[in-house]
Amino acid sequence: MIESYLKDLTQLKNVEAIAIYSLNNKLIDSWCDPNFNSKVLEELSLHYFQVFATLDLSVQNFQEIVITHEKGHFYTRILPNLLLIVLVRLPVEISLIRLIVNVKSIDLLNSRGLQKELKRSSVESKDFLNKKYLDESEKEYLKKLEI
Amino acid sequence: MEKIDENMVFVLNSQQSPEDSDLLHLEWAVVSQLDGQKTVRQIAENLALNTAEVEEIFKKLVSEELLVLVDRSEDDDIVPGELFKYVNHEMTLLLGPVAGIILEDVMEMMRLSRENFDRRKFLGLIDLLTNQIDDPVKQIEFQRNIYPKIKQYLLK
């Protein structure tokens, strides 16, 4: 799926890994550079779901998070019914990653393959995030922070 | 490296971690600015450092082999005028005659002109132009329409 619809991303020389998850944290597809440790992807998604859930709870409509580290970026994007994670090494232009995701994700989202995958999960919307990834005590704590 | 030029661009050396070096606060600040795109001058401006200070810091980081110079010889060029015409045309289809004014305004805001528009800033321009379009559907339409040309130009 990634190689079909996000081929332009996989062809960028500094892109190391790409993963797509349904909103209930099920890996739908992943792609990575042969030298990349794919286990990293498994550990990342849950953290991002929690971050997006926190933002969702505080009605901050963030759709994209870019975290820069000393060797590259973690680019993550919430698309309708999906979480997309792209790991890139420096130097790379995040504007280019964003542009490709904007342009190419439309066909991905409309693809029959993805629709089939998503049908198996009962997730309908991103409101689901804060229900699934934050428990009551976490929600209470976040409300007190007033973020 | 004898001289640090203000137009040089560096990235961190993947073989060395800055955590293993005894860096001062300002040196860490410089390291945190490195993204493979900002020039030495831009980093100096961002951190309000003067020429002597920034040169001294970069020299130290280079001498400790923490930085790698980015080779910009191949892509160090100016965006061709026809690309602006194309972008202007596509924006006009969506926004009408005001598109040309928006394009000029955004370039002025970036302190760049069509004659000296660095290709590394071009995607930033596209981001800013997209934000000038209110309708999210039209934003995507704009990007979809211009993407083949941008791909041809930037990813050749």
Q: Do B155 and A90 touch (CB under 8 A)?
A: no
Q: How confident is the model at residue A103 (pLDDT cuts 50, 70, 90)?
A: very high
- Read off the pLDDT of each residue in B52-72 and give the average, rounded to a whole number: 88
How many Å lie between the alpha carbon of B3 and the closest alpha carbon of chain A?
22
By C-alpha distance, the chain B residue nearest A72 is B35
Residues 6 or more apart whose Cβ sits within 8 Å of residue A45: A19, A21, A25, A27, A83, A85
Confidence check on the interface: ipTM exceeds 0.85, yes or no: no
pLDDT on residue B54? 92
How many Å lie between the alpha carbon of B118 and the closest alpha carbon of chain A?
14
* B37, B127, B147 ranked by CB distance to A91: nearest: B37
- Read off the pLDDT of each residue in A92-116 and give the average, rounded to a whole number: 88
pTM higher than 0.80? no
pLDDT on residue B1? 67
Above 80 in pLDDT, residue A89? yes
DSSP secondary structure letter of residue A23: T
- Read off the pLDDT of each residue in B102-108 and give the average, rounded to a whole number: 90
pLDDT on residue B59? 92
Range of the domain at A139: 2-144
How many Å lie between the alpha carbon of B127 and the closest alpha carbon of chain A?
7
HEC per residue, chain B: CCCCCCCCEEEECCCCCHHHCCCCHHHHHHHHHCCCCCEHHHHHHHCCCCHHHHHHHHHHHHHCCCEEECCCCCCCCECCHHHHHHHHHHHHHHHCCHHHHHHHHHHHHCCCCHHHCEHHHHHHHHHHHHHCCCCHHHHHHHHHHHHHHHHHHHCC
Name the token pair of A67: 């975290």
pLDDT on residue A102? 92
- Read off the pLDDT of each residue in B112-126 and give the average, rounded to a whole number: 84
d(Cα A79, Cα A101) in Å, to the nearest integer?
A: 10
Lowest mean pLDDT among A40-49, A65-74, B2-11: A40-49
Q: Do A103 and B154 touch (CB under 8 A)?
A: no
- Are B11 and B34 in contact, with CB atoms under 8 Å apart? yes
Query: pLDDT per residue over B9-59, tens digit each?
Result: 888 888 888 888 888 999 999 999 998 878 888 899 889 999 889 999 999
Q: How confident is the model at residue A144 (pLDDT cuts 50, 70, 90)?
A: confident
- Read off the pLDDT of each residue in B122-151 and give the average, rounded to a whole number: 91
By C-alpha distance, the chain A residue nearest B142 is A103
| Spatial CA neighbour of A68 closest among A83, A51, A85, A90 | A90
Above 60 in pLDDT, residue A138? yes
pLDDT on residue B57? 93
Name the residue with higher pLDDT: A98 or A144. Answer: A98
CB contacts under 8 A, A 44-103 vs B, are 68, 70-71, 89-93, 95-96, 98-100, 102-103
Q: How confident is the model at residue B147 (pLDDT cuts 50, 70, 90)?
A: very high
- Read off the pLDDT of each residue in A76-85 and give the average, rounded to a whole number: 87
Q: How confident is the model at residue A21 (pLDDT cuts 50, 70, 90)?
A: confident
Above 70 in pLDDT, residue A67? yes
Q: How confident is the model at residue A128 (pLDDT cuts 50, 70, 90)?
A: low
- Read off the pLDDT of each residue in B110-134 and give the average, rounded to a whole number: 86
- Domains held by chain A: number: 1
- Mutation choice for B interface testing from A67, A92, A103 by most B CBs within 10 A: A103
Residues of B in contact with A106 (CB under 8 A): 140, 144
CATH of the domain at A127: 3.30.450.30
The alpha carbon of residue A138 and the mean position of all alpha carbons in its chain are separated, in whole angstroms, by: 22
* B31, B36, B140 ranked by CB distance to A91: nearest: B36
- Mutation choice for A interface testing from B12, B17, B32, B149 by most A CBs within 10 A: B12
